[in-house]
Amino acid sequence: MTQTRSTDVRTDAVPASPRAAGGEPAAAAKPATEAVAAQHRQLLASLPFADGEDFEDARRGFVAALEPGIVHADGRVVWDNDAYAFLVGDAPETVNPSLWRQSSLNAVQGLFEVTPGIYQVRGLDLSNVTFIEGDRGVLVLDPLISAETAAAALSLYRRHRGERPVTGVLYTHSHADHFGGVRGVVAQADVDAGRVPVLAPEGFAEHAISENVYAGTAMARRAGYMYGAALDRGPRGQVGAGPGQTTSTGSFGMIPPTLDVTTTGQEETVDGVRMVFQMAPGSEAPAEMHVYFPQRRALCTAENATHVLHNVLTIRGAQVRDAHAWAGYLTEAIDLFGGELELVFASHHWPTWGRERSVGYLALQRDLYAYLHDQTVRMLNQGLTGAEIAETLALPPALENAWHARGYYGSVSHNVKAVYQRYMGWYDGNPSHLWPHPPEAAARRYVAFMGGADAVVDRARESFDAGDLRWVAEVLNHVVFAQPDHDAARQLLADTYEQLGYGAENGTWRCAYLSGAHELRHGGFGTPVTPVSPDVLAQLTPEQLFDALAVRVDGPRCWHEHVTLDVDLTDVGVRYRLTLRNGVLSHTTAPQTTDADAVVSLPAAALPAVATGAADPAGSAAAGISIAGDPAALGRLMAALDDPDPDFAIVTP
């Protein structure tokens, strides 16, 4: 199927405001307003929808699909690509036609021959898994999020390519959708025995864990908004996220790498497969690398060149990335491999074939990140703030019209603010913004100044009817934060978020807006998917574990508490002194001259269970755990810890 410019956009009358939605239950998803439909018609006329090249590339080399496209675990569905079967034909008015096009491409599922000896399974998770055939077996590059989807992908591959053993694993970078399913393709015993090497960029394990642990609860709650996990799939619900359709929800785990890749130009051969590496730390992920396969003249760009404008800062929250370095790595990739490569592929989306097209694609992707970075810095030096640059910056026509540069995941708007943040921080320099009231306190004052909640809602309805949705979201957010039980404000704000979602080209913006509408109408959905599993916690170093505890200390509750605790890791011969004082938990391995209140002795492997409270050291003598000194000391320390809240409010106070 080739998506062409829509010729039959429905223009039949749709209610201009939710008041006119006669007969519809208040909480149901509404149709698109005429203002949103008109915006979509404009986009259809301005973008090159007649260009079907991506649809050809997304189907090129197709071998077979998984039928049905559903993966189970313990009787539970953990992946359902068939739920996106509605993505055919032209976009309905409730979906941005550009996002509809992207999601139609992402929903193409199955096993594909990229080039002889390299296969990909796409559409079985948020990411792709790539199989590189060696002399004896097959190397697995980026084994998805869940063991179940990774296992399903491997068995689909083997059904068509024979029962090849897995002879190596590569993780291109430290994000969960590139390693979480590893236990579905390789057994720990084979790795431990040295039969299957696991290659990853230097710093992989540290970053894979730290990015998901310290702020993990808040990120996971916000990821629920970003990926729309709680939303129904459909034209009025979740249609896709940008880099893929959504995240799978099966068993998430990790096997640490056995071989660190540390330098650009480093070469390794596994099972006869030659690989040349290019390091790209601090790009899309803190630990990331590109891999060139000379025998196939194929370059894997990990996640630094995909068919989206990626995130300089994701809306779930993360540390801001370096768009300048990112662009530099793409220039370097062209310089290193562009003279010889015949195709480029990534761990999201479909490959690009041919040297000229591949290099052109890499160069445009490079220009995209460089342009965003350089123009933002140019304008901030003219005194513009992030919010102002985001509205001012326009992409050059060649980028504006390149489908792979469209903002399905990152957006020009939020990436520009991220570049500003990287250089200038949260404060825009205007003293009015130095010490404003927090949301609830400001909201009460705004609503009082604006004549009370009912008056604001009446005026907001006029703005809604006029299509000024961004303004309605701003003022009604004040009403809901001042009076969360004001039903008319909640319903109109939900309708507003919904229309903003329908209008969004960015998959994660659509999910965020529709999730906000969902929670205003139906109440909080909490955190549908949590990425931190015991398997990952077990990989934390003792220092990371202690730091993870320190950020849970409830300062005011324990700022008079003083506890010293020695943790003696008997099998590795390291002793830590933990001190809780002034609401701070610090740790050191320096020799001590005073006795601690208590000493906990245990093997290193038992530390995560004790530190997370899953094991009680007093009753665990059999596991080699003992405690000496004041038996209450550990309890006093654990009592200082606060539990993170995976259900915190977002669209209400």
By CB under 5 A, name the binding residues for Zn ion: 127, 175, 177, 303
* CA–CA dist 459, 465 (Å, integer): 10
What is the nearest approach in angstroms of Zn ion to the Cβ of residue 252? 14
Instruction: Compute how many other C-beta atoms are within 10 angstroms of the C-beta atom of residue 5.
Output: 14
| CB-CB contact of 277 with 291 (8 Å) | yes
The residue (of 133 and 177) whose beta carbon lies closer to Zn ion is 177
Is the Cα torsion angle 455, 457, 460, 461 positive or negative in sign? negative
The residue (of 177 and 597) whose beta carbon lies closer to Zn ion is 177
Q: Residue 619 pairs with which residues in a beta bridge?
A: none
Residues in contact with 229: Cβ distance below 8 Å, sequence separation at least 6, in sequence order = 223, 246, 247, 249, 528, 529
What is the nearest approach in angstroms of Zn ion to the Cβ of residue 102? 15
What is the nearest approach in angstroms of Zn ion to the Cβ of residue 347? 6
What is the nearest approach in angstroms of Zn ion to the Cβ of residue 63? 23
Sequence-ordered strand ranges (E) for 236-294: 259-261, 267-270, 273-279, 289-293
* CA–CA dist 516, 625 (Å, integer): 47
The residue (of 279 and 563) whose beta carbon lies closer to Zn ion is 279
| CB-CB contact of 290 with 301 (8 Å) | yes
Q: Name the token pair of 314.
A: 């994701």
What is the nearest approach in angstroms of Zn ion to the Cβ of residue 172? 9
What is the nearest approach in angstroms of Zn ion to the Cβ of residue 356? 27
Collapse the DSSP code of 132 into the 3-class scheme (helix H, G, I; strand E, B; otherwise coil) and give the result.
strand
The residue (of 229 and 384) whose beta carbon lies closer to Zn ion is 229
Total residue count of the chain as it appears in this document: 653
The secondary element (H helix, E strand) that includes residue 41 is helix 34-46
* CA–CA dist 101, 507 (Å, integer): 11
The residue (of 175 and 233) whose beta carbon lies closer to Zn ion is 175
* CA–CA dist 266, 246 (Å, integer): 34
The residue (of 122 and 575) whose beta carbon lies closer to Zn ion is 122
* CA–CA dist 647, 218 (Å, integer): 9
* CA–CA dist 642, 639 (Å, integer): 8
What is the nearest approach in angstroms of Zn ion to the Cβ of residue 142? 8
The residue (of 127 and 301) whose beta carbon lies closer to Zn ion is 127
What is the nearest approach in angstroms of Zn ion to the Cβ of residue 129? 11
| CB-CB contact of 445 with 452 (8 Å) | no
The residue (of 221 and 310) whose beta carbon lies closer to Zn ion is 310
Residues in contact with 170: Cβ distance below 8 Å, sequence separation at least 6, in sequence order = 139, 140, 141, 142, 198, 199, 200, 275, 291
What is the nearest approach in angstroms of Zn ion to the Cβ of residue 421? 22
- Measure Cα distances from 529 to 245, 252, 350 in Å: 15, 11, 26
What is the nearest approach in angstroms of Zn ion to the Cβ of residue 350? 15
Closest CA to 650 of 203, 355, 317: 317
What is the nearest approach in angstroms of Zn ion to the Cβ of residue 210? 17
The residue (of 6 and 283) whose beta carbon lies closer to Zn ion is 283
Closest CA to 208 of 505, 437, 458, 537: 537
The residue (of 175 and 414) whose beta carbon lies closer to Zn ion is 175
Q: Name the token pair of 250.
A: 């099966």
* CA–CA dist 541, 364 (Å, integer): 40
Of all residues in this chain, which one has the CB nearest to Zn ion in the complex?
Answer: 177
What is the nearest approach in angstroms of Zn ion to the Cβ of residue 176? 8
The residue (of 108 and 476) whose beta carbon lies closer to Zn ion is 108
* Cα angle: 214, vertex 329, 242; to 5 degrees: 60
The residue (of 79 and 464) whose beta carbon lies closer to Zn ion is 79
